[in-house]
Amino acid sequence: MARAALFNRLTVTRLSMPLIRRAETSAWLMQDEQRSVTEARTTRGFEEYRAHVGPSDLYDVSSAVQFNLLTALGLREAHYLLDVGCGSLKAGRLFIPYLRPGRYFGIEHLPWLIQESIDREIGADLVRIKRPTFSDDNNWTMSIFNRQFDYILAQSIFSHLPQAGIRRCVAEAKKTLKPGGIFAATFFVGLENYEGDYWAAKANYTLERMRQLVEEEGMACTPIDWQHPDPQQWILIHHPGTSVPLAQASDAQRMHMLKEQLALSNQQLMSIRSHPYVKVGLKVKFFLMWIPVLWRHVARLVRDRFAGTRP
């Protein structure tokens, strides 16, 4: 009851806007939402709200990676930040005290994660001072806040979304991202593209396909080399023509990216070689390589034999 009362006291901001806004459930999340809540509730202990958003032993590292990235990109205390899929405030627990009051906004369709983080991480007093605003919209409606943002963050969201969900996020970002603003997101790079229609445990995309999805919505996509504990690929989504920080890699970063590309190429090569037809082809190729050698050897023996029998 006490926790519910606290949550209810946080439902009105200075603009009389709901802290938690209700919205219609999108079809591609409905099937997983109740199951996710049920599974998380059955977990016991202090780490329940942390484990729900990834490995709890990487919770602090992931927080730091996101905070360091956005500040390196130019985030300052006066900027407005939207944290898409803010979960248990893994990054929000650093951004909320950093930003000025009323500058942090979060979207999370499981409000209990936010409440747990308020109870265990940042406290109700900080919420009263900093006045963050949240929405439980599960269709990624960034325009629900009626505000333009300097920065938008979607850490480990595209890594689960179907292509329609990614398009939806980018389309919403196009409407709410200020000119010159940056939308930082991550996804899993793979050899094939996820073709499903629902939230997935792991949705892989090629970098080229991700770029296409972004550009189809009229935005630009710039990959950057930045640490991620999972690991995932960071991309910066922005309006075309925006000057993007961190886009120019150092020699060390280029070497690292080349090593990663080499590893991915080797993985692709091994995948090709493991195909049954390719295996057969390689075996046949071995024998085909020896046919000319054997033919020359047999021809020489025949020639020598007949040469020896001539009078």
pLDDT in tens, 140-199: 899 999 999 999 999 999 999 999 999 999 999 999 999 999 999 999 999 999 999 998
Q: At what angle do helices 163-176 and 207-216 cross, to 10 degrees?
A: 50
The more confidently predicted of residues 91 and 29 is 91
Whether the pLDDT of residue 43 is over 70: the answer is no
Q: How confident is the model at residue 306 (pLDDT cuts 50, 70, 90)?
A: confident
Nearest to 114 by CA among 93, 141, 137: 93
Distance CA 39, CA 19 (A): 26
Burial (CB count within 10 angstroms: exposed 0-12, middle 13-18, buried 19+), residue 149? buried
Encoded tokens for 214: 């972004």
- What is the average pLDDT across 102-131? 91
Place of tokens 């630009």: 220
144 in Cβ contact with 116 (< 8 Å): no
Nearest to 230 by CA among 89, 49, 90, 46: 90
- What is the average pLDDT across 13-29? 42
Q: According to the model, what pLDDT value does residue 50 have?
A: 63
Q: What's the Rg (C-alpha) of the chain? A: 27
Q: pTM value?
A: 0.68
Q: How confident is the model at residue 221 (pLDDT cuts 50, 70, 90)?
A: very high
Average pLDDT, the chain: 80
